[in-house]
């Protein structure tokens, strides 16, 4: 018999050799990657900070996407985008304010340039915060130029505050007014056999009206008229004052737009110049040449620095008496949530961290929220109440929207500041329970079973809503509304009956809310910080610290990398990111998803979701 052991042993030797090659190659690649990471960290450390800034540098303010209180969305996506060297499609308000205020006092910064083509907007209170910083920059004797290929209504609000407004010859200024259009889904839901059962406290509490009606109620029409007329008057007066235009100019221009545009030969840029909205028409290369002539050349362009890179030079000191800022932005949910959403647990934990920090002497809660879960709102409010009880002043600064649950969490403050255009109020509570028994019946689907009592199983969307459950919910919602009224009345030093008169789920502008005693004074974030510092008896030069969730290890690694190796990492990470993202929905379905998502955010299967939500947004 032939000896078969030798061929087998040769095969095993070959396989062992191949495995050694694979294992050695794997170790070499991992060691090489480790050396690259260590080299990148060492290179960053040896650089010793940013390069010195030369004289006659232009500060470029070119916000990307919307302006937010904090970066929202997936930390992994944001970190990857930063690692690739790309601009995030959102801009942080604090970075704009830091850059403009620091630039105003920096002798190396000669002027500022507003480039607004990629700015996707913000609410009027946020726009006013940035415009006020532009005005402070100008007050130091430095010029500000705004340029755009065209300006929409929000972009132009900022541009109007520049010393000079330049526009591309083929552009225009698109100012149209304010208002909102809502889609009403009752007819569509009827066809599907779905009924939205709405239980609410407050005649003006219309957050679920789009699901249960075919059009706006008289209360909605009344509230919308007063709200948008007030916001539009605020916008036009601010722009007319900034551009030194006669009062009422914008309204007259809009009323006569067809005739005036025809007289300008259909040329939008020419019309903007005639109306006094712009100072000159310049292409991008002409803009570049003009700024080179006014300053210093740097290669093929003028000497410049972006606001993000410039703001990063001004990190707060690591220690000292501190005013802590906790950002409460987005809808309110019960548990933990990332940036862009207020988690009852996670945001309350941030407030608790500020309270337990011995360097923190006062807390500013920056609210930009339409509300959400009443329970999540109460978790945050309670931590603020404990912070005041610990002897640390709490001041609320309301941003674009601080309504419903956003107002609930504000009631624990020593003082509330709101912009005149902040959307606030909406003191009311709502719950919505959709049932689809008619739709299932059309499909021939029937639901039957045994229960020991009518409440066993409780709410079942496959069956008609039991009137007794609706009565229970109405009592529960009424109780939560009573708590809401009591908290506001105690905070505003009045009676629940008085708050009920101005509550009822109605939204107000900040100016209207101040007249009605819901806020203490008008002002922005800068004013709120000053009020908090004064209440804590802090001397000038106090530290401002944003209390936020610490970045994870993956995000820190991305930050270390900077642009190094990003192009190699992207093909590996991008498929996972894409797989995690749902496909885009058609516009009507996307709107329905947006308007119903808040109903599910605090539903945990254990209790009805009492929602303090206004479904409102900055116009």
Coil, strand or helix at 220: helix
CB-CB neighbours of 475 under 10 Å = 10
Query: Could you tell me what percent of the chain has a pLDDT over 70?
Result: 82
Q: Contact, 505 vs 202, CB < 8 A?
A: yes
pLDDT of residue 568: 39
Summarize the confidence of residues 87-100 as an average pLDDT: 89
pLDDT bin (cut points 50, 70, 90) of residue 490 is very high
d(CA 535, CA 470): 47
Residue tagged active-site, from 110, 373, 397, 404: 404
Six token digits for residue 333: 């949910």
550 or 489, which is more confident: 489
Q: Can 404 be counted among the known catalytic residues?
A: yes
Per residue in 551-576, pLDDT tens?
Answer: 555 554 544 444 444 443 444 444 44
Q: What's this model's pTM, rounded to 2 decimal places?
A: 0.83
Residue tagged active-site, from 82, 138, 205, 282: 205
576 or 39, which is more confident: 39
Tell me the CB-side half-sphere exposure of residue 375, using CA atoms within 13 A. Answer: 17
| N residues, the chain | 619
Evaluate if residue 74 carries a pLDDT over 80: no
HEC profile for 354-366?
HHHCCCEEEEEEE
Summary count for the chain: helices (H), strands (E): 24, 27
d(CA 134, CA 125): 14
- Of 35-44, 114-123, 218-227, 497-506, the one with minimum mean pLDDT is 35-44
Count Cβ atoms within 10 A of the Cβ of residue 56 and give its class: 0-12 exposed, 13-18 middle, 19 or more buried: middle
144 or 570, which is more confident: 144
Per residue in 274-305, pLDDT tens?
Answer: 999 999 999 999 999 999 999 888 888 999 99
pLDDT of residue 109: 97
Query: Could you tell me what percent of the chain has a pLDDT over 90?
Result: 60
Own/partner long-range contacts of 222-230 (Cβ < 8 Å, ≥24 apart): 223/506, 223/507, 224/179, 224/180, 226/512, 227/423, 227/507, 227/508, 227/509, 228/178, 228/179, 228/180, 228/619, 230/421, 230/509, 230/511, 230/512
Mean pLDDT across the chain, nearest whole number? Answer: 86
Per residue in 188-210, pLDDT tens?
Answer: 888 989 888 888 888 988 888 88
d(CA 155, CA 39): 43
* Strand 322-329 relative to strand 360-369, pairing: parallel
pLDDT of residue 460: 86
Q: Can 74 be counted among the known catalytic residues?
A: no
d(CA 228, CA 178): 6
Evaluate if residue 523 carries a pLDDT over 50: yes
- Of 82-91, 131-140, 465-474, 594-603, the one with minimum mean pLDDT is 594-603
- Of 350-359, 435-444, 545-554, the one with minimum mean pLDDT is 545-554
Evaluate if residue 603 carries a pLDDT over 60: no
pLDDT of residue 81: 52
Six token digits for residue 342: 């207020």
pLDDT of residue 551: 59
pLDDT of residue 452: 87
What does each C-alpha distance from 170 to 25, 157, 162, 281 come to in angstroms? 59, 20, 21, 9
Tell me the CB-side half-sphere exposure of residue 140, using CA atoms within 13 A. Answer: 19
């Amino acid at each position: 018999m032939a000896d078969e052991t030798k061929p087998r042993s040769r095969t095993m030797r070959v396989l062992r050799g191949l495995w050694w090659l694979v294992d050695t190659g794997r170790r070499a690649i991992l060691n090489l990657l480790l050396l690259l990471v260590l080299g990148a960290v060492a290179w960053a450390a040896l650089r010793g900070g940013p390069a010195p800034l030369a004289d006659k540098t232009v500060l470029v303010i070119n916000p990307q996407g919307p302006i937010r209180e904090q970066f929202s969305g997936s930390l992994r996506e944001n970190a990857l985008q930063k690692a690739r060297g790309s601009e995030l499609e959102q801009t942080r308000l604090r970075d704009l304010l830091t850059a403009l205020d620091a630039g105003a006092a920096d002798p190396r910064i000669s002027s500022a340039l507003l480039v607004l083509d990629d700015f996707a907007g913000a609410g009027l209170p946020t726009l006013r915060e940035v415009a006020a910083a532009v005005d402070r920059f100008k007050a130091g004797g430095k010029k500000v130029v705004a340029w755009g290929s065209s300006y929409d209504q929000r972009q132009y609000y900022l541009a109007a505050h520049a010393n000079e407004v330049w526009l591309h010859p083929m552009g225009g200024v698109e100012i149209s007014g304010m208002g909102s259009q809502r889609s009403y889904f009752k007819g569509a839901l009827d066809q599907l056999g779905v009924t939205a059962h709405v239980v609410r406290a407050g005649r003006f509490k219309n957050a679920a009206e789009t699901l249960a009606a075919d059009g706006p109620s008289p209360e909605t029409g009344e509230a919308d008229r007063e709200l948008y007329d007030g916001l539009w008057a605020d916008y036009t007066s601010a722009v007319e004052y900034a551009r030194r235009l006669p009062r009422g100019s914008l309204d007259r221009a809009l009323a006569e737009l067809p005739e005036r545009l025809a007289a300008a030969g259909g040329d939008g840029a020419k019309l903007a110049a005639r109306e006094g909205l712009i100072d000159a028409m310049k292409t991008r290369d002409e803009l570049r040449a003009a700024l080179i002539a006014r300053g210093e050349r740097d290669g093929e362009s003028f000497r410049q620095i972006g606001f993000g890179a410039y703001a990063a030079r001004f990190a707060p000191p690591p220690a000292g008496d501190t005013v802590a800022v906790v950002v409460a932005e987005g809808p309110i949910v019960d548990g933990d949530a990332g940036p862009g959403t207020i988690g009852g647990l996670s945001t309350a934990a941030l407030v608790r961290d500020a309270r337990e920090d011995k360097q923190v002497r006062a807390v500013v809660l920056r609210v930009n929220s339409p509300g959400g879960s009443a329970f999540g709102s109460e978790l945050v409010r309670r931590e603020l109440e404990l912070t005041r009880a610990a002897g640390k002043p709490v001041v609320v600064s309301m941003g674009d929207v601080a309504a419903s649950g956003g107002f609930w969490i504000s009631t624990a403050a020593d003082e509330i500041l709101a912009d005149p255009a902040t959307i606030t109020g909406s003191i009311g509570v709502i719950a919505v329970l959709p049932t689809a028994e008619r739709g299932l019946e059309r499909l021939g689907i029937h639901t039957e079973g045994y229960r020991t009592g009518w409440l066993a199983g409780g709410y079942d969307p496959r069956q008609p809503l039991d009137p007794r459950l609706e009565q229970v919910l109405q009592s529960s919602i009424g109780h939560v509304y009573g708590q809401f009224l009591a908290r506001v009345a105690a905070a505003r030093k009045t009676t629940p009956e008085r708050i009920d008169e101005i509550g009822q789920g109605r939204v107000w502008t900040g100016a209207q809310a101040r007249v009605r005693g819901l806020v203490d004074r008008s002002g922005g974030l800068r004013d709120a910080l000053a009020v908090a510092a004064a209440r804590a008896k802090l001397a000038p030069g106090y530290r401002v610290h944003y209390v936020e969730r610490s970045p994870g290890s993956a995000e820190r690694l991305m930050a270390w990398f900077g642009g190094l190796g990003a192009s190699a990492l992207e093909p590996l990470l991008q498929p996972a990111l894409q797989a995690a993202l749902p496909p885009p929905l058609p516009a009507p379905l996307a709107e329905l998803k947006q308007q119903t998502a808040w109903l599910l955010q605090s539903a945990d299967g254990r209790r009805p979701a009492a929602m303090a939500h206004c479904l409102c947004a900055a116009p």
